[in-house]
Amino acid sequence: MPRGRLGIIGLFRMPILTPNRFKGKLIVVEGIDGSGKSTQLSLLAQWLRSQGLAVAFSEWNSSPLVRETTRRGKKKQMFTPTTFSLIHATDFADRQERFILPMLKAGAIVCADRFAYTAFARDVVRGVSPRWVRNVYRFAIQPNLAFYFRVPLEVALGRILGGRDSIKYYEAGMDLNLSRRIEESFRLFQGRILEEYDAMAEEMGFHIIDATGSIEEQQARMRQIVLEKLSEAIASGQILQKESSYRAHAAAAPVL
């Protein structure tokens, strides 16, 4: 889907995130568990690196600063929808302030596995107000590219339930009391998150990738979109790269 289509409504819509005024670019992937987004992002990052570009990687819920707090909350099941949402926002803020912003300023391509959109989908399913959680993340840098890996629920569930031995309490949305059986709860929870992603896809300008296709097909599509979107920034030398003298032609057409 083409992005950046500013209709009349789009023109008057308040920007919900912070514009990226830096040299670097932010690429994010979203999708429910089992959509294959992490696999695709790591293939993309590897390819970008092989082109001599500076790539930084950041994963949802990975800040060492809040790790202990998150662990305590999960272990003792202390989270409410509001505190669950806020601790993830704290985690993201720490990664953005400490890592993502400096990397963007330096001119790197920052690849983020999950982003604020995860909160917009998941926290809303948990019951927090969509308006409130969108405001919480207003400090987040607007991605230059947001990929949404759309996959039917049953396909994703097949990948997850086959491949892993246990689903955790909050992952399955057990705090929502959807079902006492963890697999059933997981199924219902993921189904609702999927609906939220679909509902916001247009508003957020997601590039939708059909995640039922082969891994190769999806990756080729992703690279094509990245080239379309970033080739100018690469060619102009805005993005930090290995050999600056090589910049002009190497960047014009990296090989797929």
Partner 1 sequence: MPMQQPLQFYNEPLPGIDTGELQGKLIVIEGPDSVGRSTQVSRLRTWLEQQGHAVLDTGLARGTLAGKGIQEAKEGNTLGSVTMTLFYVTDFADRLENEIIPALRAGFVVLTDRYIFSLMARGIARGEDSVWLEKLAGFALVPHAVYYLRADVPTLVSRVVMGRGSFDYWESGMDMHFGADMYDSYVRYQTRLIRALDRMGRKYEFQTIDATKPADVIFRQLQRSIGGLFARPARKRK
List contacts with partner 1 (CB under 8 A): 65-66, 68-69, 72-73, 78-83, 86-87, 89-90, 93-94, 96-98, 126-129, 131-132, 135-136, 138-139
Nearer to partner 1, 94 or 198 (CB): 94
Q: Which residue has the tokens 């491949």?
A: 163
CA distance 95 to 101: 9
Q: How far is CA 59 from the centre of its chain?
A: 9
Residue 34 CB, nearest approach to partner 1 (Å): 27
What are residue 111's phi and psi, to 5 degrees?
-105, 120
Nearer to partner 1, 72 or 164 (CB): 72
Give one DSSP letter per residue of 175-188, joined into a string: GGTS-SSHHHHHHH
Residue 131 CB, nearest approach to partner 1 (Å): 7
Six-digit token pair at 172? 């399955």
Contact by Cβ (8 Å): 40, 209 = yes
Nearer to partner 1, 82 or 179 (CB): 82
Nearer to partner 1, 18 or 224 (CB): 18
Residue 209 CB, nearest approach to partner 1 (Å): 31
Entry field: residues in the chain: 256
Residue 77 CB, nearest approach to partner 1 (Å): 11
Residue 89 CB, nearest approach to partner 1 (Å): 5
Nearer to partner 1, 131 or 242 (CB): 131
Residue 76 CB, nearest approach to partner 1 (Å): 8
Residue 189 CB, nearest approach to partner 1 (Å): 16
State how far the alpha carbon of 216 is from the alpha carbons of 39, 43, 212, 233, 252, in Å: 11, 10, 11, 25, 23
Nearer to partner 1, 40 or 118 (CB): 118
Nearer to partner 1, 84 or 147 (CB): 84
State how far the alpha carbon of 253 is from the alpha carbons of 49, 202, 234, in Å: 15, 29, 10
3-state secondary structure of 233: helix
CA distance 87 to 123: 11
CA distance 224 to 247: 19
